[in-house]
């Protein structure tokens, strides 16, 4: 369970998050949508402790991570996997080494066991024969798949996605959406996705949260959001579609 | 008036802040050196990059430095019949000054810039954030091995540079300028102390710290995409080179 309680964050006197509250349900896909530059990535980085809030609390499984020291924060982070916008694969390593990286760092496993997990995770995200390739040899969609394989290598309870479909063509976007849904169904982990892609959001989300001017302005299932008569929500969806 | 002072003092404030951030990075690196996990393989990989891969360029620079030094001092010393001192002058200059300084400058150009560019690219492509999310401290994983490797390998490269420089000086002095071989070597043994070599190596280790610390600092504080990476790389080379010359003066004043 992730509870975000009244967090605020400003950069150079510009308020990006403003007393924001949000509860994220375990074992579901929650999509946080909002306009580009609206603070979605900042919110996601707060959840994993990459940015500390000016005020407020972020509770992960009962632990407030906002004031933890590095050592304790690192322990909490082991519950997480994260897929970055451009996958953030390590350039100097092969795809296989990238997926094996968290396993080598945190598990005492033999090389054979690690290789098996790497193959399993790459198969799970639909990648074959790429173990020895460098990230620069992969297409954008393949890099995201490899990034997801690395994010789920340690079987985390929570997986964060930073704009997973940005920069992809419509076919690849649909394919990544299906992959997110299928992976969540198999892992039963909590997925938190941030996006400005309204079509993708309605396809994959169990729950949608709308971020606007530093606050969550609406929360509900995709159907609730889609059929909402609230003029603000309708205008928001229209703005994102445009 | 206050506005003017604000304007004039801005570079000073920036300089002090920058020094503070570099010192904090150094302290943080030292504290991470003693905490597990100890990634020996990553340190060896960096030692290979900093040391082994720089050998050729350091040998070429060292050899030609020794050769040109022999050529120049010969013409000067001949005026008062002091040709016999060419060997010791070359050896003393190489071990005390030119070996450590030129090695450090060449490694700054080859390695310090690469550190800034690599870490800068990792920063702007969120690879450093990715390390954090995987509970791996970037200072321990990226900065600490580079600094250890540079501190250990610079003295090794300097010894190679010293040796090759003296051999280059010998080649020019004895083979081309016809200085007596026995006198050339005897004067080196007479005048150059072990302390000269040792102090030169301490300088080299210090220069290794400077170039790696600045390279890593500029890399991990990069902002602004490809342009930012380019800026960080240039700044790291310029700042490291300047600091190497400044610290060389003070180290020389203290040690010799």
Instruction: Tell me what ipTM this predicted complex has.
Output: 0.91
Cβ of B134 and A91 within 8 Å? no
Name the least confident of A44-58, A167-181, B174-188, B203-217.
A167-181
Establish if A39 belongs to a structural domain.
no
Q: How confident is the model at residue B197 (pLDDT cuts 50, 70, 90)?
A: very high
Establish if A129 belongs to a structural domain.
yes
Report the gap between the CA of B215 and the closest CA in chain A (Å).
18
Instruction: For residue range B39-51, list pLDDT tens digits in order.
Output: 999 999 999 999 9
Cβ atoms < 10 Å from Cβ of A164: 26
Cite the DSSP H helix spans in B34-125. 40-50, 55-78, 86-93, 99-107, 113-124
pLDDT tens series, chain A, 242 aa: 899 999 999 998 899 999 999 999 999 999 999 888 889 999 999 999 999 999 999 999 999 999 999 889 999 999 999 999 999 999 999 999 999 999 999 999 999 999 999 999 999 998 989 999 999 999 989 999 999 999 999 999 999 999 998 888 888 889 899 999 999 999 999 999 999 888 889 999 999 999 988 999 899 999 999 888 877 778 777 776 76
Burial class (CB in 10 A: 0-12, 13-18, 19+), B142: buried
Burial class (CB in 10 A: 0-12, 13-18, 19+), B41: exposed
Cite the DSSP H helix spans in B134-178. 138, 144-170
Report the gap between the CA of B165 and the closest CA in chain A (Å).
35
Q: What distance in Å separates the CA atoms of residue B177 and residue B242, rounded to the nearest whole number? A: 36
Choose from B49, B132, B135 for mutation: most chain A CBs within 10 A. B135
Tell me if chain A has a CB within 8 Å of the CB of B105: no
Nearest chain B Cα to A49, which residue?
Answer: B133
Q: What distance in Å separates the CA atoms of residue A34 and residue A233, rounded to the nearest whole number? A: 11
* Chain mean position to CA A134: 23
Establish if B194 belongs to a structural domain.
yes
Tokens matching residue A150: 């690395």
- Give how many domains chain B has, as a whole number: 1
**A213 compared with B245, residue with greater pLDDT:** B245
List CB contacts of B51: < 8 A, sequence separation 6 or more. Answer: B149, B152, B153, B156, B157
pLDDT higher than threshold 70 for residue B82: yes
DSSP state of B142: I
3-class state of residue A116 by DSSP? helix
The residue range of the domain holding B139 is 41-255
Tell me if chain A has a CB within 8 Å of the CB of B234: no
Cβ-based contacts of B127 with chain A (< 8 Å): 88-91
Cβ of B130 and A74 within 8 Å? no
pLDDT in the model for residue B7: 84
Q: Which residue has the tokens 């180290």?
A: B251
Q: What is the mean pLDDT of residues B113-119?
A: 97
H/E run at residue A140: helix A140-151
Establish if A151 belongs to a structural domain.
yes
| Contact present, A240 and A198 (Cβ < 8 Å) | yes
| Contact present, A38 and A56 (Cβ < 8 Å) | no
Cβ of A105 and B127 within 8 Å? no
Choose from B117, B121, B130, B219 for mutation: most chain A CBs within 10 A. B130
List CB contacts of B218: < 8 A, sequence separation 6 or more. Answer: B116, B120, B232, B233, B235, B236, B239
Establish if A117 belongs to a structural domain.
yes
Establish if B34 belongs to a structural domain.
no
Report the gap between the CA of A233 and the closest CA in chain B (Å).
32
Q: How confident is the model at residue B63 (pLDDT cuts 50, 70, 90)?
A: very high
Of B122, B133, B137, the CB nearest to A50: B133
pLDDT in the model for residue A224: 92
Tokens matching residue B179: 């200085």
List CB contacts of A14: < 8 A, sequence separation 6 or more. Answer: none
Q: What distance in Å separates the CA atoms of residue A25 and residue B147, rounded to the nearest whole number? A: 44
| The length of chain B, given as a count of residues | 256
Nearest chain B Cα to A51, which residue?
Answer: B129
User: Would the CA dihedral through A229, A230, A235, A238 be positive or negative?
Assistant: negative
The residue range of the domain holding A98 is 89-155
Chain A interface residues facing chain B, Cβ-Cβ under 8 Å?
A: 45, 48, 50, 70, 74-75, 77-78, 80-82, 84-86, 88-92, 101-102, 105-106, 160
Establish if A108 belongs to a structural domain.
yes
| The length of chain A, given as a count of residues | 242
pLDDT in the model for residue A240: 67
pLDDT in the model for residue B31: 94
- Give how many domains chain A has, as a whole number: 1
Q: What is the mean pLDDT of residues B190-199?
A: 94
Establish if A196 belongs to a structural domain.
no
A124 Rama class: left (phi>0) / alpha (psi -120 to 50) / beta: alpha
Q: What distance in Å separates the CA atoms of residue A72 and residue A205, rounded to the nearest whole number? A: 31
Q: What distance in Å separates the CA atoms of residue B4 and residue A46, rounded to the nearest whole number? A: 39
DSSP state of B177: S
Cβ of B134 and A102 within 8 Å? yes
pLDDT in the model for residue B74: 95
Establish if B74 belongs to a structural domain.
yes
**B93 compared with A173, residue with greater pLDDT:** B93
């Amino acid at each position: 369970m992730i509870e975000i309680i009244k967090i605020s964050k400003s950069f150079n006197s510009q308020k990006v998050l403003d007393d924001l509250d949000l509860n994220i349900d375990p074992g579901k896909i929650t999509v946080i949508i909002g306009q580009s530059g609206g603070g979605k990535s900042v919110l996601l980085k707060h959840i994993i402790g990459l940015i500390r809030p000016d005020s407020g609390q972020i509770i992960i499984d009962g632990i407030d991570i906002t004031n933890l020291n590095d050592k304790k924060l690192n322990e909490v982070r082991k519950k997480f996997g994260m897929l970055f916008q451009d996958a953030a694969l390590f350039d100097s390593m092969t795809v296989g080494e990238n997926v094996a990286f968290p396993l080598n760092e945190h598990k005492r496993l033999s090389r054979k066991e690690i290789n098996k997990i790497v193959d399993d995770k790459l198969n799970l995200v639909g990648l074959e024969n790429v173990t020895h390739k460098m990230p620069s040899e992969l297409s954008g969609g393949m890099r995201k798949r490899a990034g997801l394989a690395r994010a789920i290598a340690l079987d985390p309870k929570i997986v964060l996605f930073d704009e997973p479909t940005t920069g992809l063509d419509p076919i690849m976007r649909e394919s990544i959406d299906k992959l997110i849904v299928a992976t969540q169904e198999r892992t039963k982990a909590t997925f938190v996705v941030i996006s400005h892609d309204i079509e993708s959001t309605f396809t994959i989300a169990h729950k949608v949260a709308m971020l606007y001017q530093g606050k969550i302005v609406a929360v509900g299932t995709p159907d609730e959001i889609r059929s909402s008569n609230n003029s603000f929500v309708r205008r928001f969806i229209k703005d994102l579609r445009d | 008036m206050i506005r003017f002072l604000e304007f004039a003092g801005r570079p000073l404030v920036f300089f002090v802040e920058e020094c503070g951030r570099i010192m904090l990075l150094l302290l943080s690196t030292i504290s991470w050196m003693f905490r597990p996990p100890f990634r020996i393989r990553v340190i060896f990989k960096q030692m290979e990059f900093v040391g082994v891969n720089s050998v050729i360029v350091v040998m070429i620079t060292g050899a030609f430095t020794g050769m040109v030094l022999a050529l120049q001092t010969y013409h000067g010393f001949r005026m008062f019949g002091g040709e016999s001192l060419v060997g010791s002058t070359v050896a003393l200059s190489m071990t005390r000054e030119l070996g450590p300084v030129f090695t450090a400058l060449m490694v700054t150009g080859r390695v310090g810039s690469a550190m800034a560019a690599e870490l800068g690219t990792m920063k702007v492509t969120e690879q450093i954030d990715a390390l954090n999310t995987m509970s791996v401290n970037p200072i321990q994983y990226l900065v600490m091995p580079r600094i250890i490797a540079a501190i250990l390998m610079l003295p090794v490269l300097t010894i190679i540079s010293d040796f090759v420089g003296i051999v280059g000086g010998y080649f020019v002095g004895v083979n081309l300028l016809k200085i007596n071989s026995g006198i050339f070597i005897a004067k080196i043994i007479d005048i150059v102390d072990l302390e000269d070599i040792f102090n030169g190596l301490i300088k080299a280790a210090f220069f290794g710290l400077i170039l790696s610390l600045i390279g890593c600092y500029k890399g991990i504080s990069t902002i602004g995409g490809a342009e930012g990476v380019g800026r960080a790389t240039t700044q790291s080379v310029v700042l490291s080179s300047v600091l190497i010359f400044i610290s060389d003066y003070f180290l020389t004043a203290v040690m010799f």
